[in-house]
Structure 1
């Protein structure tokens, strides 16, 4: 399997055709998967916000005030308002905002980005990353994954994850297959789109040197069942249930 970045992409702006820009630079093959950073998708879809256009409500002002008292740093209530606007729910409101986005991804500040946004204050995640991935997959003729980076509980650092995908299942389902000793696997479901997103992130880079579109060539899903259940449902997510009951002591 080969993983390489698409070279020489310009700064993406609202209305740009990301698929066409990729096709101009790479001759795609049938065994390719194209991974596109959510920042690029969001810019092309015009998902930017200027804070001067935001009016903070009472809850946002309260959240910003509490966070400021906890951290000792000034917090803009308009930013808190945008987080609320982009969220189904807040799992934590202190010591930071941990939000469930409208498409089911759980991440800090609803995934809102302040970096590499030359013409606005904030960059939101795509409104529907799976629909975005489907449009890219249809245009390119190969599977597509919209990626983001986020941390993992109990570990330092960030890694790539999939927030939208099309043209392939999200997961390999190993249940019912056997290990080398012949024992049947009954819980193993491999989040393949996350693994591909993490591989893409290794070569896409971060900061000001990033190359936000990556081609993974030669990936084979294999003879396994597949499913698209990537985000846990609330009723079987024990960590989420515990977080919803927990209160920050500060």
Structure 2
């Protein structure tokens, strides 16, 4: 398997034809998988926003006050309002906001970015990252994974994750297959779109690296069942259920 970043992607502006910009810079082959950072998808789709676009309600003010008290500094309630408006549900509100996006991804601050956003205060995630991936996949003729970076429960640091995909299943299902001893696998379901996102994050980088698009070449899904149930349903997510009852108490 080969993983490489697509060079010379320019600063993306609202309305840019992202598929054409990518196609001009890389010769894609049959079997390639393309990963695209959500930041450039959002920029092309005009998802930049200013804090002045959000009028803070009482809930947002309460959240900002609570987080500000914990952090020892004032927090802008308009940012909390932006998170609320981009969320289906808040799993927890302090010491940070953990939100469920409208497409099912659970992440801090609903994935709203405040870095590398020229001309705006905020960059919101794509409204429907899988639809965005589908449009790119249709235009470029290869599977596409829209990625973001996200923290990890129980571990320090961030890694790339998939928030949208098209042209391949999200999950590689090994259940019903057998290990080398002939034992049937009953629980193993591999989140291949997350693994591809993490692999390409190694070459796209962070900060000011400016390499938001990458290609995975000579990787095969294989002869396995697949499905798209990447995001856990609420009823089956024990951690989410526990966090719903969590209340932060500062000392």
Do both proteins adopt the same fold according to a TM-score greater than 0.5, normalized to the shorter chain? yes
Query: How many angstroms does 1:209 deviate by?
Result: 1.3
Could you tell me how far 1:53 is from its partner in structure 2?
A: 2.4
Match of 1:234 in 2: 234
Deviation digits for residues 180-213 of structure 1, max 9, x if unmatched? 1110000000000000000110000100113000
Kindly indicate whether residue 111 of structure 2 is the aligned counterpart of residue 92 of structure 1. no
Residue 31 of structure 1: how far off its partner (Å): 1.1
Q: CA deviation at 1:7?
A: 0.4
**Aligned residue for 1:61?**
61
Matching of residues 177-188 of structure 1 within 5 Å: 177-188=177-188
Cα drift, residue 30 of structure 1: 0.5
The aligned counterpart of 1:199 is 199
Alignment partners' CA distance in 1, 2:49 and 2:137: 27
1:154 corresponds to: 154
Partner of residue 77, structure 2: 77
State the partner residue of 1:163.
Answer: 163
Aligned pairs, how many?
250
Task: State how far apart, in whole Å, the 2-side matches of 1:81 and 1:246 are.
Answer: 21
- Paired position in structure 2 for 1:31: 31
Per-residue CA deviations over 1:29-68 (Å, capped at 9, x if unaligned) read 0010000000000000000111122211111011101111
1:249 is displaced (CA, Å) by 1.6
1:246 Cα deviation from its structure 2 partner: 1.2
Partner of 2:104: 104
Q: Report the 3-state secondary structure (helix = DSSP H, G, I; strand = E; otherwise coil) of the residue aligned with 1:55.
A: coil
**Map of 2:137 onto structure 1:** 137
SS at match of 1:248: coil
Name the CA distance, whole Å, in 2 between partners of 1:75 and 1:29.
Answer: 48
Q: Secondary structure at the match of 1:88?
A: strand
**Aligned 8 A contact 2:147 2:164 in 1:** yes
TM-score computed with the length of structure 2 as normaliser:
0.99
How far apart, CA to CA, are the structure 2 residues paired with 1:127 and 1:53?
Answer: 17
Preserved contact between residue 9 and residue 210 of structure 2 (Cα < 8 Å): no
Q: Deviations over 1:56-106 (max 9, x none)?
A: 111101110111111101100000000000001111111000000000000
5+ long unaligned stretches in structure 1 = none
Report the Cα offset of residue 21 of structure 1: 0.6
Task: Indicate the residue corresponding to 2:22 in structure 1.
Answer: 22
1:98-133 per-residue CA deviation (whole Å, 9 max, x = no partner) reads 000000000000000000001100000000000000
- The CA RMSD measured in Å over matched residues stands at 0.6
SS in 2 for 1:25: coil
What is the SS of the residue equivalent to 2:83? helix
